[in-house]
């Protein structure tokens, strides 16, 4: 079965700075990869997904992610963080029939 | 376009009581998932259904938990009897197609067992 690791539990960045959240996956076949964001008191919202084609994927809210097969990674990036981006971010990998989520990375944005 | 609808949004009850959480998936979606989220354990998959049939319930903690999907537009997660350690946020998600498609989440039910 597939698995996901998000190495960073908590990241703090200043507003306007760039952001990169790390995600590593384990899966024997071509993975289906997703990033979700969760704001307090809400469910998970899909930011972007990858399952084939261009390895650089654009998502909502100015986010992008790059699939690197050689590194088994799917890191999430944003060039300039806004205060409203403070939330919890989950990487997920789909395989077989279901989806596995990472433990999440909590993003704090400093003014 | 209505998303996944969960009810109630909050539930507070005493231990030993039966708790029923409800979920209405997005119309046309053929898979439904129940998750539990806690600070200690993160997001855990409890069970998922495909075309109303339970496919994998290996995440269900114990026999006190049960889930049903009597039709394509409704599912329940029941805890009987409830215990304080069941306190968590429970999410329902639905999906169309296979695992290459994203899951769409409801806003969750925050459950507190006193």
The model's pLDDT over B23-54, given as tens digits with 9 standing for 90+, comes to 999 999 999 999 999 988 889 999 999 999 99
- How many angstroms separate the CA atoms of B82 and B69, rounded? 21
B99 close contact with A: CB closer than 8 A = yes
What length is written for chain A?
111
**pLDDT tens column, A88-98:** 999 999 876 67
Q: Give whole-number Cα distances, B105 to A36, A97, B49, B96, in Å.
A: 10, 17, 15, 13
Residue A53's pLDDT band (boundaries 50, 70, 90)? confident
Closest CA to B86 of B64, B53, B55: B64
B14 close contact with A: CB closer than 8 A = no
Q: Give whole-number Cα distances, B24 to A10, A81, B60, in Å.
A: 33, 35, 20
The two tokens of residue B44 are: 């855990």
B42–A104 CB contact, under 8 Å: yes
């Amino acid at each position: 079965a597939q698995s996901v690791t998000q190495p960073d539990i908590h990241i703090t960045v200043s507003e306007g700075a760039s952001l990169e959240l790390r995600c590593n996956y384990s899966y024997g076949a071509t993975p289906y990869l997703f990033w979700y964001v969760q704001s307090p008191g809400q469910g998970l919202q899909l930011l972007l997904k990858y399952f084939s084609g261009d390895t650089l994927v654009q998502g909502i809210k100015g986010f992008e992610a790059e699939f690197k097969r050689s590194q088994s990674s799917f890191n999430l990036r944003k060039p300039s963080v806004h205060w409203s981006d403070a939330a919890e971010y989950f990487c997920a990998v789909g395989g077989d029939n279901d989806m596995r989520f990472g433990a999440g990375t909590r993003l704090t944005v400093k003014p | 376009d209505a998303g996944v609808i969960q009810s109630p949004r909050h539930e507070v009850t005493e231990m030993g009581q039966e708790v029923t959480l409800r979920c209405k998936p997005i119309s046309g979606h053929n898979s439904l998932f129940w998750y539990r989220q806690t600070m200690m354990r993160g997001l855990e998959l409890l069970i998922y259904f495909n075309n109303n049939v339970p496919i994998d319930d290996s995440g269900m903690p114990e026999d006190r938990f049960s889930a049903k999907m009597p039709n394509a537009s409704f599912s329940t997660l029941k805890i009987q009897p409830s215990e304080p350690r069941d306190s968590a946020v429970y999410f329902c998600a639905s999906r169309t197609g296979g695992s290459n498609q994203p899951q769409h989440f409801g806003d969750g039910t925050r459950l507190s067992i006193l």
